[in-house]
Amino acid sequence: MNISKIFKGTLIVSLMIFLAKIVSFISETTLAYSLGSSSEADIYYTIIGIQQIIYPMISIGVWKIFLPEYKKKLVLKKENDANQYSDKIITLFIIISIVFVILLIVFSKYVTIFVVPGFDKVSQSKVTTFLRFTSPMYLFLCVSTIYGAMLQSRNKFFGSQIREIVVQIPTIIASIFLYRKYGLYVLGLSLIVGSFLRFIIELPFVNWNYKFKPNIKFKDKDIFIFFKRLPSALLTASFTQIHSLIDKIVASGLSAGSIACLNYGVKVSTLISGLFSQAINTAVYPTIAGLIAEQNYKNLSSLINIVINIICFFIIPVSFGCIVFNYEIVNVLFARGAFQGKAIYTTGLILAGYSIGLIFTALITTINDILYCHGKANITMKISMFSCIMTLLLDLIVVNFLGVFGLALATSISSMITFFIALKFLNVCLKIKLIHFDKEIIKISFASLFSVLLSRILFYYMSSWNSIVSLCISIIIAFILYLFLMIIMKSNLIKTFICFLRGENNDFIQFNKK
């Protein structure tokens, strides 16, 4: 495995995530146009909200437990064992999905009362009926997720990511052309069709010697390991969801609008950084699993340090940019209607506060992925629990002094502390020091800070221009200057990017020796 393949995978995943976000935005726009703020919109988004809670619980077991074990069998040249393992997991999830759908249909009334207790009885009845109608989509979501993990294990990233685009297409068509004539249930049908397409689109990419055969031999070591690790993985996902709510819970005691400003700040920071860190971690995850399966810790150490450098290359300049241009970014994105003045200023401060910890959040994800691949799901659970407790304590300490900005800052500090705790766990579990910080990160930090500050000075002289135009020009200047400084300082990453564009191979070890 060489660096060029990692860059290629990251590029493909980044592009697909970007296109998926565009298609998702189009879907949201068409739904807003058709549904507006009607009661049917409330019913539809209630179902979407339930799906957004249930789906992570389905996917966590597949991506964090199934994928590493499946990859391990591929690395050890046990193709037949890998196929049988896939058959068992797919069969298991089909059975679980069928049972789950039946339970969802039978107890949909109680689910509705729990999720939307404030709805009147007529609206709750509609949600219940709509929930029953759309429940079959979970059958396809489960199987699609497993096939996606299999594709990623074989570095077929295009095949595994295109499903996130096609899943939105039926909803766009239904909301534009069919909703006014056929009503809400055509949107429910679009969810079922979308989940089906999500699965079907993957099948042409399954071009190795595999054809699903039902296998109910669940009493074996692989299934035992899966169930043993699943509770810890689910708890980790739960703590992650709780962590995202802590700031909002504490902010509920502050002035009106604090929660909304927090929500906008989080969206901007995660949107900008997630495009890079999510793509990088997704692309490299199967490779990490493979190296751990081989017990090739020398290449693993080299790979992880490359990944850290790549994440830093993108996230550090983005973080500095969000800190220095926090007000201008929020102003361009949200300054419309009632969102003016104090709201822009407050959200800008929140964006700056969260941006301080972006790099640590991204690196924690990388460490957790390594631990998952090493079968240490219980350690990731402890890390997530520690992060929740630390964030809550820091929130309660700073909220009285710094207000809503303090909540964002406390979250960043918590991420930084959690990162070093996670790093310690990683070193102890694998008995070697996998991560070190070299001069490449110093170069990235210096180039990022200098280019952003200079672009800020130039932005001052463009203050009379249109705000969008001047911000875009400043970003372009900062980007060009950043690359120029990295070239001047003879960055290893820049050299590697150039080699990648030329089609040359780069070995892990060679990169770290440059």
* 223 lies in some domain: no
Can you give the pLDDT at residue 434?
A: 62
Residue 451: name the closest of 472, 477, 471 by CA: 477
Residues 459 and 433 in one domain: no
Domain final position from 415, 437, 459: 437
Q: Are 333 and 268 in contact (CB under 8 A)?
A: yes
Residues 89 and 212 in one domain: yes
pTM of the model: 0.77
Residue 10: which domain range? Answer: 1-218
* 171 lies in some domain: yes
Cα separation, 224 vs 227, in Å, equals 5
Residue 455: name the closest of 497, 427, 483 by CA: 483
Domain final position from 161, 186, 218: 218
Domain final position from 185, 218, 251: 218
Can you give the pLDDT at residue 86?
A: 92
DSSP 8-class letter at 209: S
Q: What is residue 504's three-state secondary structure?
A: coil
Residues 133 and 2 in one domain: yes
- What's the total number of domains in the chain? 3
Given a cut of 50, the residues of the chain with pLDDT beneath it are 509
Cα separation, 212 vs 85, in Å, equals 11
Cα separation, 430 vs 432, in Å, equals 5
Angle, nearest 10°, between helix axes 342-355 and 258-294?
A: 20
Q: Around 411, how many Cα atoms within 13 Å sit in the side-chain half-sphere? A: 27
Residues 273 and 214 in one domain: no
Residues 165 and 272 in one domain: no
Residues 285 and 348 in one domain: yes
* 227 lies in some domain: no
* 229 lies in some domain: no
Q: What kind and span of H or E run contains 333?
A: helix 326-334
Residues 137 and 78 in one domain: yes
- Residues 107-152 have pLDDT tens digits of 988 888 877 777 788 888 888 898 899 888 888 888 898 999 899 8
Residues 94 and 61 in one domain: yes
Q: Around 471, how many Cα atoms within 13 Å sit in the side-chain half-sphere? A: 15
Can you give the pLDDT at residue 451?
A: 93
Can you give the pLDDT at residue 64?
A: 79
